A and B are shown apart, each in its own frame.
Chain A
Amino acid sequence: NAGVTQTPKFQVLKTGQSMTLQCAQDMNHNSMYWYRQDPGMGLRLIYYSASEGTTDKGEVPNGYNVSRLNKREFSLRLESAAPSQTSVYFCASSSTGYNQPQHFGDGTRLSIL
């Protein structure tokens, strides 16, 4: 019973490099989300996907792109990494409908030098 799986768990990049963070869920959820968590702050929504084939911007989308590959997988891409994108990235999923809890992966810790 894996839930939400994120890969990789850790990554170090140089400024300007590109990177794709992978996320997969096995709970048959329609909705998936990408958040970032910075020290002293709560999570901030980057992008979300309400269903397969749809994506929409969250609070902090600049510098990121996403792909909802299928119902299970939702990837986050940094095209040209910047030090300000150093953060812990969390993927989450939930069932469709009101008042549904979100289920989180364990995060990807990304450092950009």
Chain B
Amino acid sequence: SQQGEEDPQALSIQEGENATMNCSYKTSINNLQWYRQNSGRGLVHLILIRSNEREKHSGRLRVTLDTSKKSSSLLITASRAADTASYFCATDQRGFQKLVFGTGTRLLVSP
């Protein structure tokens, strides 16, 4: 069963705009991770946020975590065409790295 549900399923923006993706999950977690998948490629790890953290930054990425609402968001600032990809959240319930992935958000950034 899928732990995470992502919203929106698809997002289309112009270069320079910000992109926000949301992830909701069902059970308590040890950490939540975001991955990017370019078409025809494997997943690439973007950022990990622990259950006791509320916000984390990495370059143009900002991730928030609200454990009371069981939700997370990924913000990509100043989007580029190269950011076009699918983005997945994944939850690690017990810290044993048995990740449960969401269904993903397809992001299209147009020049």
List chain A positions with a Cβ less than 8 A from chain B: 4, 31, 33, 35, 40-45, 48, 50, 58-59, 90, 92, 94, 98-107
| 27 A-B contacts (beta carbon < 8 Å) | A35-B101, A40-B103, A41-B2, A42-B4, A42-B102, A43-B88, A43-B90, A44-B101, A45-B99, A45-B100, A58-B98, A59-B1, A90-B43, A92-B42, A92-B43, A94-B97, A98-B31, A98-B95, A99-B30, A99-B48, A101-B33, A101-B48, A102-B33, A102-B43, A103-B45, A106-B41, A106-B42
User: Which residues of B (69-111) have their CB < 8 Å from a CB of A?
Assistant: 88, 90, 92, 95-104
Instruction: Given the known inter-chain contacts A4-B42, A99-B50, A104-B44, please indicate yes or no for A42 contacting B104, CB distance below 8 A.
Output: yes
Please indicate which of the listed interface residues A90, A101, A105 has the most CB atoms of chain B within 10 Å of its own CB.
A101
